[in-house]
A and B are shown apart, each in its own frame.
Chain A
Amino acid sequence: MTERLHIQNLYKIFSNTPAAALEILAKGGDKNAVFEKLGLVVGLNNVSLTVPKGAMYMVMGLSGSGKSTLARCINRLNEPSAGKILLDGRDIVQLGEEELREVRRTRISMVFQHFALLPNKRVIDNVEFGLKLRGVAPAERRRRAEEVLSVVGLGRWGHHFPHELSGGMRQRVGLARALATDADILIMDEAFSALDPLIRTEMQDELLRLQRSLNKTILFITHDFQEALKLGTRIAIMSEGELVREGTPQSIVLEPGSDYVAAFTQEIDRARLFDAGSVMRAAEPILQSERGTLVGEAGGAGFVLDRDGKVLGALDAEALGRARDSGEMGTPSANYVSVASSAKLLEVACNYRDGRPIAVVDEQGKFVGSLGADDILARISSTTPKTIPAGGRHA
C-alpha cells in the first residue's frame, strides 16, 4: 500500500450540533450560507485527499482557509463533524479514547508553530516528553532523546532551558520531540512560520536533509506558497474550508486552474522550480555510423552518442544540416554543455555559454534530450493564458 493517509469527505463545523449545517452544505450551500443561516463557522467543507507514504505533503492556504483545522482533525485535536480519515486503512475518526491515545503516542506526532515547548523543563526533558507519556523507561528514553537531539544538531544543548535558545533552535527541539516518538506521520503546523527568513530557509534545508534519511510521511501546513513549492512533493491548496487544487508543485504552477491559485503561482520563480528534464526536447536519431549515433532535431543542434548513449560531441545547426543532406556525420566538436536532467533551470542558465547546445543527461550520464536557450526562457516566462486578466496580454 503506497497511501498512508486517506481523507474522505471530511467536514468540520465548529458546533456541538453540526447536523443542520451539514445539511446546508450537502445541498450545495457554502461556508457563508451556513454562517448566515445558523451563525456557525465551517472549518472544513468536504475535503478529500490522499497522502502517499513518504510524501512531503504541503497543505497551503491563507489564514482562515481551514488548513490548520485539517491538520488538527488528523490527530483529532479537532473532532471532525463528518467524514473519514483512514490511516493505513483504519478510520481514525471512529477510534475510542484509548486507541486514539495510542495512535497519538506511536503513529502521529506534531510540530507546532510557536514550538509549544515546556518552559520549565530542559531541552532533553522536552524531547523525552512523548516517550515519557508513553511510559518508556528513563534510561531508554534519555538515550533516544540524545540520539534525536544530535540528529537535529543540538547534541550539546540538552541541559539548557528552552528560553535560552533562539527561535530556530527551539523549533529544532520541537522537531526532535516529534521525531523521538518514532511516529511515521509528522504533522507540522506552520512549523517555520514564526522564524525569521534566514533561519526559515535554513530549517527548510535541514528538513529536506532529514527527510532524505528518515522518509517519514510529513503533512506540512503553511501559508507560504514558496515554502510549499520548495519542500513539497505534493501540494493541496485550500480556501474557505475547501480543497481547491491538489497536485505536484510543477503541475500547479503550469495549470493553476483557478484565479485563486493563479494569484499564488504568478510570482513564482520558475527557474528554481522546474528542472531541465521537464522542458527538454527528445531528439530523434538521424544517422547511424560506426562512430556512433547522431541525434538531433530540425533547426536545433545535434549530438553524437556512443553505444551506451553517452555524449561524444555536438554538431551545431549548420553542421547538422550538412550531415542530414550528405549522410556524412562530420566532426563533432566539444563545444557543448551537459546538464543533469534534475538540474533546475537556474543552474542550467548559469552553465549556459553563448551559442553552445545543451545536452540533458540522466544520472548515468546517458543522453535523454536536448535543450535550447529559448526553451528555458519560454518556461521561465510562461504563464497560463486563461488566468491572465485581459489587459495583461498586450505586453
Chain B
Amino acid sequence: MLKADDLAIFPIDAWIQQCVSWVALNLRPIFLAIKWPVENLLWLNDQILHSIPFPIFVIGFFLLAWRFATLGIALFSGVSLIVVAALGVWNEAMTTLSLISTAIVFCAVIGIPMGIWCARSDRVWNIVRPILDIMQTTPSFVYLVPVVMLFGVGTVPGEVAVVTAAAPPLIRFTNLGIRMVEHEIVEAGLAFGADKRQLLFEIQLPLAVPTILGGLNQTVLTAMVLSVVVAMIGAEGLGLVVLQGLGRLDVGRAAVGGIAIVLIAMVLDRITQKLAAPRTSGKAETGVPLLGAFARLFKGGRPDEATHAVTRAKPAL
C-alpha cells in the first residue's frame, strides 16, 4: 500500500534553503540598497518622536486629531497617550509609532503608484492580484523567516517586514478607487479631450481619494499588527514589551504592553477612519478630504461650518 510519506522523496526544503542562501549571498547589494532608505528614514522618525517632550507631543497630537477628525476622537487620543505614559511604556510606544509612521511613508510611495498602474492595465492587475492574495493570506510571522535570511535581525529588518505586509491593502484600495470612479465622469473627461495624465490627475485620483484613504486605514492597522509581531526578530517597541512579558511569564508586563498596543491601535484607526469617511451632511465633499483637511489646518474654522452655511443659503429650486 502506498503511504503518503512515500511521496516525500524530493528534498524541497533543502532546495528552498539553497535558493534563499544563494539569493542572500549573491544579491546582497540589492538588499542593502533596499535597507538603506528604510534604515535612514526610520532613524529620523525615531529621533523626532523621541525628542519631542511628552506634554508637547500630547497637545500637538490632540490638536491634529481635532483638525483631522472630531473633538471626541481628539479627547480619546489625548487620554490614551496619557494612559500609555502612565503604563510606563512611553519610549517603547514612540518606537512603535516611528515604525508605523515610517511604514506609512513607504507604503504610500510604493502602494499608490502600484495601485494606479494596476488600475490602468488589466494585465498588470492580473499579475499583481495573486501576489497580493498570497501576501495578505500568509500568516504574519511567516514573513519573518525570509526577512531574517535576507535582511538579518533587528528593528530595520522588522521595518522591512512591516512595509511588505502593510502595502497590499493600499495597492488594492488605490486600484479599486480608480476603477470605481463613475464611468460617465471618466467619459466626460475623455469627451472634453483629456489625455491620460489629465484623466488621472484631474478626475481619477481626486475621486479615488476617499477609497485610497480607506486603504490607508487598513495599511495603518496592518502596520500596527506587524510592528508588534516583528518583536520576534528583534525589533524594539511595544511588541518587545509583550514578548519579554511572555518570556519571563510576567503577565503584568505583557498586559501593560498589550493595553498600550490596543490604545494606540484604536487611536490610529479612529483618526484614519475619519479621514476616509465622507464628511457630514450626507454625501457632502466626497473629494480630497486629505487636502481639505490640510486647507482647514491653515485656514482655521471647523470642517462642517462652511458646508452647513452653504446648504442653508441654497434656496429651493
| A interface residue numbers (CB < 8 A to B) | 72, 75, 77, 101-106, 108-110, 112-114, 116-121, 129-130, 132-134, 160-161, 163-166, 168-169, 177, 181, 187
Contacts and interface: CB of A to CB of B under 8 A. Distances in A.
A102 B193 contact: yes
A21 B292 CA distance: 51
Contacts of B304: none
Contacts of A177: 192
A208 to B, nearest CB: 20
B317 A166 contact: yes
A133 B202 contact: yes
Contacts of B283: 119, 163
Contact of B187 (A77, A121, A164): A77
Contacts of A75: 191
Nearest to B186: A116
B286 A119 contact: yes
B187 A116 contact: yes
B207 A118 contact: yes
Interface in B168-209: 182, 184-185, 187-195, 198, 202-203, 206-207
A120 B193 contact: no
Interface of B: 182, 184-185, 187-195, 198, 202-203, 206-207, 282-288, 310-311, 314, 317
Contacts of A114: 182, 184
Contacts of A103: 193
Contacts of B202: 118, 129, 132-133
Contact of A130 (B182, B192, B287): B192
B185 A118 contact: yes
Of A75, A104, A116, A164, chain B has the most CB atoms within 10 Å of the CB of A116
Given A119-B287, A164-B314, A165-B317, 19 more contacts: A72-B187, A101-B195, A102-B193, A104-B192, A105-B193, A110-B191, A110-B192, A116-B182, A116-B187, A118-B203, A119-B207, A119-B286, A120-B207, A120-B287, A130-B193, A163-B282, A164-B310, A165-B314, A166-B317
A201 to B, nearest CB: 15
Given A118-B203, A160-B314, A164-B314, A77 B191 contact: yes
| Residue of B182, B191, B314, B317 contacting most chain A CB atoms (<10 Å) | B191
A132 to B, nearest CB: 7
Nearest to A180: B192
A164 B184 contact: no
Contact of A118 (B190, B287, B310, B311): B287
A133 B206 contact: no
Given A164-B310, A164-B311, A104 B190 contact: yes
Contacts of B193: 101-106, 130, 133-134
A133 B202 CA distance: 9
23 contacts: A75-B191, A77-B187, A77-B190, A104-B190, A106-B193, A110-B191, A110-B192, A116-B184, A116-B188, A117-B185, A117-B188, A119-B207, A120-B288, A129-B188, A130-B193, A133-B198, A160-B310, A161-B284, A163-B282, A164-B311, A166-B317, A168-B317, A187-B191
A360 to B, nearest CB: 41
Contacts of B287: 118-121
A133 B188 contact: no
A304 B211 CA distance: 78
Given A133-B192, A164-B310, A112 B285 contact: no
Contacts of A130: 192-193
A132 B197 CA distance: 13
Contacts of B285: 120, 161
Nearest to A166: B317
A165 B207 CA distance: 19
A181 B185 CA distance: 17
Contacts of A109: 191-192
Contact of B194 (A120, A133, A160, A163): A133
Contacts of B284: 161, 163
B191 A104 contact: yes
